[in-house]
Structure 1
Amino acid sequence: MDRRKFLNTSAKGAIALGAGLVPHISLAATSPDVALVKGAPGAAARAAVEMIGGMGSVVKKGNRVVIKPNMSFASTPNVGANTHPLVVQAIAAMCWEAGASSVLILDHSLAPGPICLERSGVKAAAATVRDDMVYMVNDSDHYSDVKIKDGKTLKETEIVKSVLRADVLIAAPTAKSHSGAGVSLSLKGMMGLIYDRGSLHRKGLDSCIIDLCTVLRADLSVIDATHVLSTNGPRGPGKVLDENKVIASRDMVAADAVAVAEFTWYGKKFQPRQVAHIRHAHERGLGRMDIENLRVERLVL
């Protein structure tokens, strides 16, 4: 059961920034499945989203939006552990431009929240759009218990209340390696919206990630690959690849699959099927990892 169906069941029981920096992109009759844009972070994020149909195809007038970036470490953008602030800024601005009634930027930090918000640069960047969007959801009173109907390993967990009330969920991870999951991208990033992450590690991380994503299934994924943390993730420091790219897709599995194939991880090239949680997501019908059969379009700004 996806997040929106869960919400229906439970109910029964802006400022434009940087638009002039992005060239107009004429959309074909059908948009690509995945867009990959090389350029400055904010402009690349805008262009990538426009290539797959624009934010208006995701966010409708009056929608409540939650954006989930990585901002849980007390490090600056060049380390690659947190999403580049200008990517987050661009996503938030596009949501307001599309007519959102509210936009929240949320994460559950692994270091003290105020330090993470300052060093990541996300709060300051978002404040140039609106100053009431960015919050850490570290306290238990932010969460509600949720049964995971289709969970194979993870049967229940506590999810951020604001996410359960949202109409649109946007995954905005940075592209980075992960000591337990191989990589941390859109799928793995959803763990930042639950209270007890440790239980997923104990029960079986790869399976639990996919169980969680049967409820927290992002409507849009925008992967920041400005500074790719290719080793020693998720915290770093490690080897950082300055790729200056952004990947966007309505299919969070496809977005993650393209990110895996596009970059070098641990000094090697990998295929999406070699990452267990991406393979499981494909097999369970949450999205597609067979990028050779998808329409992936590239743009250099």
Structure 2
Amino acid sequence: MPQRFHGDPLGRVPAPRGAGAFLSRRDFLKWQVRGALWLAAGTVGMAGAAGLAGPCRALADDTPDLALATGRPAAATRAAVGLLGGMAAFVTPGSRVVIKPNMSFPNPPEAATTTHPEVVRELVVLCREAGAARIMVLDHTLYDVGACLERSGVADSCESVIRGIVHGLSDPRFYREVPIPDGASMKTTRVMADVLDADVLISAPVAKSHSSAGVSLSMKNMMGLIFDRGVMHSGHDLSVAIVDLNTLLKPALVVVDATRVLTTNGPGGPGKVDALDTVIASRDPVAADARTVILSEWYGRRFAPRQVRHIALAHERGLGRMDVENLREARVSV
């Protein structure tokens, strides 16, 4: 089995140097106003089978790389996205949006194996407010689709906003074979057609441990958008394959649900759940995952991002930054 963490255990990892202090409500509103004044030039899009592109909108000089909000799930989600300029910084009127939560297990939210339904619902609301023409909430569940969507609470929560948008896709007819031009090991895969045809991809994972990958966060979350995730375990080094997949599937926005974290016995639990009441948002999936690693204990210990192999590999291959101590961070409590 691939090693989950590598390097010597570091014990407790201190908070990143230079991380922003908690914002006052006045400062939080100022961030939102600045975000609203960003240039509207450019679009947030994806380049189909050639690789899904991240945001290409002009950014304010003081836009944080990482946004952390603590509070109730919906309020924290809105606040974290707000610190990055609001959903309008990612979704333009008429956009086709895919939101990818984790809905793979038929467990209630308190088990922390699936994304909190209020986090996903708030993302749907934010996309609608930004003028999205089509919003889909998609996953390829590991267990019975109906049970997963119902017991996770995601279907009822999101469809109270817009009906018919939450789907678990297991039929191969919903997928298209595409090359992975920058794959080191995995060179091709079948991706959900709706993802390939979307303008904006939002990754919304729950923060949890994983018996093979160490942690399951935004990069690992992309495995729920392909038809055959099993081959990533059996036919490749899992950490390398995760990075390969993330060279193809590049979310414009990452929103990590760390409102409660499954710190042991992931990904399916039951395990130790820590209530951290935190949502982390970023344009950079590597940074978001690295910051989440620092935020929580895992298996009763503290680890550095470099000790999670797929995070370290993604950093080395230029997919994002794990040196979160050198990134700009904004925090707010709501």
Same fold (TM over 0.5): yes
Q: 2:192 aligns with which of 160, 181, 188?
A: 160
Does the residue aligned with 1:214 lie in a helix, a strand or coil? helix
Q: Give 1:5 shift.
A: 3.2
Tell whether 2:172 aligns with 1:130. no
Q: Give 1:265 shift.
A: 0.4
Q: Give 1:218 shift.
A: 0.8
**Structure 2 counterpart of 1:243:** 276
**Structure 2 counterpart of 1:283:** 316
Aligned AA (1:235): G
| Contact kept in structure 2, 1:32 and 1:297, CA below 8 Å | yes
Does the residue aligned with 1:124 lie in a helix, a strand or coil? helix
Q: 1:106 aligns with which of 135, 138, 147?
A: 138
Structure 2 distance, partners of 1:140, 1:191, is 15
Matches within 5 A, 1:50-61: 50-61=82-93
| Contact kept in structure 2, 1:6 and 1:215, CA below 8 Å | no
Gap regions ≥5 residues in structure 2: 1-44, 53-58
**Structure 2 counterpart of 1:255:** 288
Q: 1:49 aligns with which of 81, 104, 120?
A: 81
Structure 2 distance, partners of 1:224, 1:8, is 29
Does the residue aligned with 1:96 lie in a helix, a strand or coil? helix
| Contact kept in structure 1, 2:120 and 2:158, CA below 8 Å | yes
Does the residue aligned with 1:241 lie in a helix, a strand or coil? strand
Cα offsets for 1:127-181 (capped at 9, x unmatched): 1210121000111111100111110000001000000000100000000000010
Cα offsets for 1:267-293 (capped at 9, x unmatched): 001111110001111111111110010
Q: 1:119 aligns with which of 145, 151, 155?
A: 151
Q: Give 1:6 shift.
A: 4.0
**Structure 1 counterpart of 2:208:** 176
Aligned AA (2:282): S
Aligned AA (2:292): A
Structure 2 distance, partners of 1:9, 1:98, is 24
**Higher RCO (CA-CA < 8 Å; seq separation 6+):** 2
Tell whether 2:37 aligns with 1:5. no
Structure 1 distance, partners of 2:60, 2:241, is 38
Structure 2 distance, partners of 1:284, 1:28, is 26
| Contact kept in structure 1, 2:201 and 2:252, CA below 8 Å | yes
Tell whether 2:69 aligns with 1:37. yes
Structure 2 distance, partners of 1:46, 1:264, is 25
Aligned AA (2:78): R
Count of residues in correspondence between the two structures: 283
Structure 2 distance, partners of 1:123, 1:30, is 37
Tell whether 2:307 aligns with 1:274. yes
**Structure 2 counterpart of 1:73:** 105
Q: Give 1:296 shift.
A: 1.3
Structure 1 distance, partners of 2:178, 2:239, is 19
Q: 2:217 aligns with which of 185, 190, 193?
A: 185
Structure 1 distance, partners of 2:264, 2:183, is 30
Q: Give 1:108 shift.
A: 0.5
Does the residue aligned with 1:78 lie in a helix, a strand or coil? helix
Structure 2 distance, partners of 1:189, 1:165, is 19
Aligned AA (1:205): L
**Structure 2 counterpart of 1:24:** none
Aligned AA (2:266): G
Where do 4+ consecutive residues of structure 1 move more than 3 Å? 5-10
| Contact kept in structure 1, 2:125 and 2:161, CA below 8 Å | yes
Cα RMSD for the two superposed structures: 1.6
| Contact kept in structure 1, 2:71 and 2:277, CA below 8 Å | yes
Gap regions ≥5 residues in structure 1: 11-26
Aligned AA (1:261): I
Structure 2 distance, partners of 1:214, 1:205, is 14
**Structure 2 counterpart of 1:19:** none
**Structure 2 counterpart of 1:14:** none
Tell whether 2:231 aligns with 1:199. yes
| Contact kept in structure 2, 1:181 and 1:206, CA below 8 Å | yes
Aligned AA (1:122): V
Does the residue aligned with 1:159 lie in a helix, a strand or coil? strand
Q: Give 1:93 shift.
A: 0.6
